[in-house]
Amino acid sequence: MAYSTLLFDKTDGVVTITLNRPDKSNAFDDTMSKELIDALKTIERDADARAVVITGAGKNFCAGQDLSAMLERYQVPGGVSYAAHLRGSYNLIVSRLRALEKPVIAAVNGAAAGAGLGLALACDFRYASENARFRTAFIGIALAPDSAISFLLPRIIGLGRALGMALTNELVDAPTALQYGLVNRVFKPEELLPQTHEFAAQLAQAPTKAIGLTKRAFNHSFDVDLETALENEALLQEIAGRSADHLEGVQAFIEKRSPQFKGK
């Protein structure tokens, strides 16, 4: 599929998706949602894609829902269901990202707001430019949170800080985001993409199957009690323990050399 709102590049096992509506701060219209869902499906199916970077073109990362597109819904006779729109767009994007059994890094180059914040939270790592800023945005237009922000934000930064962001619409700067644990690292703007790609290249050489199983275990742990989590870990370890990369990792340790993981 040729994309009109995304740039898609695959180099040495690292896929870089660039949200490419810079004049709209990379806000989501329906085309961009559909294209991002398609890109994630492509990555799921491609065994050679072993790490993913998501970033934004221009000065911002992603401003969430395109508000001009939202306003156009009022022209549709009978209106447009917000719930149906979420089920067909952000819910699919967030679910796919959390279920993707490959590491995903958000390279947050500027503002991440609304569903754009949700997108960054759904990634496994958030690398940020000193120019990055984070805003829940929903309360600013009298909406409640979506895109899993009510689920992921309190889990990442704690309930008090999450509610503070959500109720005040505060624009959190990069140093504060680092202090909150909202981002993993902060870089000078010109260093963000080189540093992110260097990290992604390392991840693309890591044991992808074990990374996928680790994501699966952490996702599952939110929903269950301790005994269920322990049993799930046992089942996932059964899978990891039979992988070629596991044997390679143990052999490499014994032979005092670096492992050569193939992602299998």
3-state class of 136 per DSSP? coil
85 binds ligand T3D (CB under 6 A): yes
Pairing between β-strand 111-113 and β-strand 133-135 as defined by DSSP bridges: parallel
Which alpha helices (DSSP H) does 158-243 contain, by range?
Answer: 159-168, 174-180, 189-204, 208-221, 226-241
Please pick, from the candidates 86, 206, 239, 252, the single residue that binds ligand T3D as defined by CB under 6 A: 86
Does 143 interact with ligand T3D (rule: CB under 6 A)? yes
Does 27 help bind ligand T3D (rule: CB under 6 A)? yes
Name the residue nearer to ligand T3D (CB basis): 4 or 228: 4
Selected from 103, 114, 207, 259, the binder of ligand T3D by CB under 6 A is 114
Rounded CA-CA distance 255/34 in Å is: 48
Residue 111 touching ligand T3D (CB under 6 A): yes
Q: Which distant-in-sequence residues (6+ apart) come within 8 Å of 138 by Cβ?
A: 114, 144, 145, 146, 149, 166
CB nearer to ligand T3D: pick between 84 and 254: 84
Virtual torsion, Cα 241, 243, 246, 251, nearest 10 deg: 110
What span, in angstroms and rounded, lies between the C-alpha atoms of 66 and 64?
6
Query: To the nearest whole angstrom, how small is the minimum distance from the Cβ of residue 120 to ligand T3D?
Result: 12
Could you tell me which stretch among 43-51, 60-68, 160-168, 251-259 binds ligand T3D (CB under 6 A)? 60-68
Residue closer to ligand T3D by CB (options 25, 208) is 25
Which CB sits closer to ligand T3D, 141 or 250? Answer: 141
| Number of C-beta neighbours around residue 180 at 10 A | 18
Please report, as ranges, the residues that interact with ligand T3D according to CB under 6 A.
24-25, 27, 60, 63-68, 70, 82, 85-86, 111, 113-115, 135, 137-138, 140-141, 143, 146
